[in-house]
Structure 1
Amino acid sequence: MACPAGFTFDSTPRKGPNAEMTETLQSGTRLFYHGYDIVWSENHLLASRLESLRRIGDELADNALQVLKIKPGEDAYTILQAYVAQPEHEQESPAPRMLMKQLMAVPEWVDWEQVRRGQQVFWRYYFFISHALLHFSLAGGFSAPKISKVLTSTGYLSGSRTKERVYETSQFVLDIANSLEHLQPGSGAGWKSTIQDLLGTLFSFSNCVWRVMETKMGVHMTRQEREDYLHLWRYVGYLMGVDDIFGATKSPELADACLESIILHSVEPDPESGKLCASLLKSMAATPKLMTKVIRTLGLPDPFKFHLVLAESLLGADFWKANGLPSMSKPYWLLQKLMIWLMMVDLRLVNMLPWWFRARSLMIQKTYYMMVAKNLGKKRTQFELRELPKTLPDIQLASKSLDDLTP
């Protein structure tokens, strides 16, 4: 299994507008923040506790990286394997060997049957989860300054790489959900990041999904499904280097409380994050010139506007307005409702017909792997670090395009 790169270059405190308020909140206090309804509890984390995580990384991996001297574009895991294959007396430091030992170990708490059930949850709700990951987790994630800084600094928002990054992340998620084999020790690699960044990333793939499914799409996972899905991502988090100091991934309730704490601590939507969001959606809506002409000639819905309405439907009107993004016209909202209805039909068939679940899941896997391969040049990505971009042409283009949009 491979996991996407994430680099954090400093640990400078950068808090959301409500971060300081969390220091004095009493249990039972109810907050409304850009559409989030939060009831503060003993499970929530103060901003000061979260801020301390910005100074904690993966010391074991950091020490190994210093010895291995991995360059941008090189496969970290291949270099690590080659290093530890040398006789011990020829190894400069024991750090890489210690890292490999940890990578090969499976934590005692891992329940492989529950991991397998978590994978089944992904395929059961595939269309809802995919919708949530793109139009909620990723589109909304730009409102956390630390996340947007990582993406711009690594070049993932430069030109066509925006769409490429989404397909790389799709490959990552498909690998996780494909089979238990993809999650076995010895098939992954890791990069530097802080624990708060990693926890935020972990929750964007796990409990963010079931929360937005419930509140915005009217789909409710059972408690067992949430526990299984979280267990899958808890193990993935371990492979990514997440040191869950606060035990936030042990139950859905603890995960939800930690997620809400991170939102109050880090998320601050503004017009700049709106430009990043629009750039992402414009890249995902990009079509060949001939297809664009056909769409305009026939008066078909604009793919970019459709992506915008899909994102607004999940992020909410308050969050969308804070991002400085325009709301779309009624026909696009009707299309959004039609899409959700079709997804509901698929879910009903999945729950009623086991053969449909198997056949449709296999078809999705094959189709999406073909799409990923096509967009990544028929090769599996290794998530190498990109160069630092000098300009952000897609962001500029998106901001200009937004000025021309009519609701």
Structure 2
Amino acid sequence: MFASCCTNHCGSRKMTSTCCREKFVEGTWQDFWGVRFKWSSNHLTPEQLEPLIYSYDKAATDAVDRLHEIASPQDTKPSSTDEDTEEAVKTNGEKKRRWDMYGLMQEYASKDEAIRKLWDEIHMIPEWVDWDQIERGQKIFFRYGGPAISTLTFLSLLGGMGSSRTVETLDRTGGFDVKVVRRRLLETTQHTLNVHRDLKSIQPGGDGFVDSVRVRLLHSAIRRRILQMASQRPGYYDISKYGIPINDLDSIGTINTFSATVIWIGLPRQGIYMYRQEILDYLALWRYIAHLMGTPHDWMATPESARSTMESLVVSEIRPSKASANLANNIITGLERRPPTYASREFMCAQAYWLNGRDLAASLEIERPSAYYSALVFGQCLFFATLSYINRSFSWLDERNINIVRKIFYTLLLEDKSKGGLGYVSRFSFKYIPAFDKMSTERGVATAESGFGLRRPGIERTALLSLVSFLVLAGVCSWYAYKMLNWVFGYLL
């Protein structure tokens, strides 16, 4: 495949561009990792994207520097990553809140120039924001709740580990260690659900708004830490090779995986296609989130530019490494047999292959699934697609479904710890700290148990029921068609 030519044999961004430059001719068809598209003047080559790995969110960086100067050393001291709450325990048994960068920023917004600049930026509403459209965009996530969550987990996140350059930062934080990865994903889910919850949540002061800003501050703190360590020990992180940690291209890639990738890869691979108005609304929502998070977002102004950017990123960024495979496998290991889905490793591997394609999944060293588990994923897609098309066809049913899915997601994924939820409200503290004694994240040991997913109520039972129902229906229809044809031919003859 062309993807293999450009990703496996070209070790650097410049080499990739040189190797494939002759292929990037307007009007020619390209095929990278199963994403097939026609190259246009809107697409960007790896060489054109490269400057973005050296630019970053300066406003948040300056504000975080000032916050560290203002806060006491004790406040900014890293906390243990083993805690499952947002509080740290003092030696006398009392609980002390972690250092809250957002709270400190709020306190000093009127007192410090650098902090005020960031505060004003996040509260400035761009002229292109239409709150009615933003609200419609929020509802889209819950309209396609099941397939959207599957996309974000197994394509956007797991498949996103194929970006070896971005993984160099993730690998150093330890946030994808098999012992903590599930909690790390649930915290990300909190942010995802809150930005989609309702209009009030994404507007200034709302939970989704605050979560977005907290994540932005966290990214700046991680960048600051890694750059400090790189200056202390040359060779710890190669800026010339990987770029500034959490740079503009990384940030664009992240927003892309939550928006364009869902629209044009994740949902279609599950048999679901959005209306054009839905695409416009969903992009508008995530463009505003990109604004809050300090990410360049002009590429999201139209569906055409958003899609071409997504395709350009597939060409430029997806080059899996050993570290990519380790983190991708840790995601599956950390989630296997855990509530609320109780999915087996085999079933999740099948989802990874279905959504990412055989080449990328194999490059991430995901075990190849059997035909049975691939069939189960097909059954899940049938279930998701059927519900999605039926619900969106009737406005009253659509609203009812959106409200039900929203409630279920918040209960199972965030609020009720006994059912697998996070169990606390994350403030996105700096918990996963890069350190010299931990240069990379090891791959966890898989504990696969064949057939586990069918022993408890969960997604695999639903997928199997959907598959069986489809086969029965197909069989009945085939039998009636056969009988009808026999009658017709018998009558004619």
Q: Are 1:60 and 1:98, in contact at CA under 8 Å, matched by a contact in 2?
A: yes
| Cα separation, partners in 2 of 1:310 and 1:377, compared to 1, 3 Å | closer
Q: Look up the match of 2:103.
A: 78
Q: CA deviation at 1:305?
A: 0.7
Q: CA deviation at 1:353?
A: 4.0
Partner of 2:30: helix, strand, or coil?
A: strand
In structure 1, the residue matched to 2:57 is 58
The aligned residue for residue 378 of structure 1 is 423
1:305 aligns to 2:360 (yes or no): no
Residue 117 in 1 paired to residue 141 in 2?
Answer: no
Q: Distance in 2 between matches of 1:197 and 1:116?
A: 27
The range that moved more, 189-198 or 305-314, is 189-198
| Contact kept? 2:171, 2:441, Cα under 8 Å | no
| TM-score when normalising by structure 2 | 0.69
Identity between Structure 1 and Structure 2 (%) = 26
Q: Distance in 2 between matches of 1:17 and 1:342?
A: 44
Is this contact kept in 1: 2:154–2:351, CA < 8 A? yes
Pick the aligned partner of 1:388 from 418, 428, 434: 434
The alignment status of 1:397 with 2:416, answered yes or no, reads: no
After superposition, the Cα gap between the structure-2 partners of 1:118 and 1:17, relative to the gap in structure 1 and judged at 3 Å, is farther
User: Which residue matches 1:262?
Assistant: 313
Report the equivalent of 2:331: 280
**Structure 1 stretch 45-54 or stretch 224-233: which is displaced more?**
45-54
Structure label with greater radius of gyration: 2
Q: Which amino acid aligns with 1:366?
A: K
Distance in 2 (CA, whole Å) between partners of 1:140 and 1:168 is 19
Aligned with residue 325 of structure 1, among 339, 343, 366: 366
Matches within 5 A, 1:162-201: 162-186=181-205, 187-188=209-210, 189=213, 190-191=216-217, 192=220, 193-201=246-254
The one of 78, 94, 108 equivalent to 2:127 is 108
CA spacing shift, 1:271–1:146, aligned 2, 3 Å: closer
Which residue in 2 is equivalent to 1:224? 277
Range with bigger deviation, 208-217 or 302-311: 208-217
Distance 1:357-1:151 versus aligned 2 partners, 3 A rule: same
The SS at the match of 1:43 is coil
Q: Partner amino acid for 1:273?
A: S
Q: Residues 197, 232 of structure 1: CA spacing in aligned structure 2 closer, same or farther, 3 A cutoff?
A: same
Shift of 1:393: 7.3
Letter of the 1:381 partner, please give it. Answer: S
| Distance in 1 of aligned mates of 2:338 and 2:191 | 24
State the match for 2:13 in structure 1. 15
Equivalent-residue separation in structure 1 for 2:307 and 2:373 (angstroms) = 31
What is the one-letter code of the residue matched to 1:144?
S
Amino acid paired to 1:77: Y
Any conservation in 2 of the 1:106–1:185 contact (CA below 8 Å)?
Answer: no
Deviation at 1:392, TM superposition (A): 6.8
Deviations 1:35-93 (A, max 9, x none): 121321100112222111112112222222111116355222101011125xxxxx4x4
Residue matched to 1:210: 263
Report the Cα offset of residue 14 of structure 1.
Answer: 5.5
Distance 1:147 1:162 in 2: 17
Q: Say which structure, 1 or 2, has more relative contact order (CA 8 Å, 6+ apart).
A: 1
8 Å contact kept, 1:16–1:267: no
Instruction: Indicate the SS of the match to 1:176.
Output: helix
Could you tell me how far apart the structure 2 residues matched to 1:394 and 1:367 are?
Answer: 34
Relative distance call for 1:242 and 1:233 in structure 2 (3 A) is same
What is the deviation of 1:271? 4.9
User: In 2, distance between residues paired with 1:278 and 1:241?
Assistant: 30
Q: CA RMSD in A?
A: 2.6
Runs of 4+ in 1 over 4 A off after TM superposition: 21-24, 391-394
Q: Is residue 213–residue 220 contact of structure 1 (8 Å, CA) maintained in 2?
A: no
Aligned equivalent of 1:250 = 301
Separation in structure 1 between the aligned mates of residue 149 and residue 282 of structure 2, nearest angstrom: 14
Cα distance in 2 between the residues matched to 1:162 and 1:209: 22
Structure 2: distance between partners of 1:401 and 1:14: 35
The residue type equivalent to 2:445 in the other structure is: L
2:16 aligned counterpart, secondary structure: coil
The change in CA–CA distance for 1:15 and 1:232 in structure 2 (over 3 A counts) is: same
Question: Relative to 1, partners in 2 of residues 1:275 and 1:166: Cα closer, same or farther, differing over 3 Å?
Answer: same
Cα separation, 1, equivalents of 2:109 and 2:370: 59
Could you tell me which amino acid in structure 2 is paired with residue 35 of structure 1? G
Matched with 1:38 is 37
Quote how far apart the aligned CAs of 1:349 are: 3.1
TM-score (norm 1): 0.83
Aligned pairs (5 A) from 1:334-353:
334-353=375-394
Residue 149 of structure 1 corresponds to which residue in structure 2? 168
CA displacement at 1:268 relative to structure 2: 0.7
Unmatched runs of 5 consecutive residues or more in structure 1: 1-12, 86-90, 296-301, 403-407
Task: Return the offset for 1:175.
Answer: 0.7
Name the CA shift for 1:32/1:349 in 2 (closer, same or farther; >3 Å): closer
Provide structure 2 residue ranges, at least 5 long, that are not aligned to the other structure: 1-10, 79-97, 221-245, 450-493
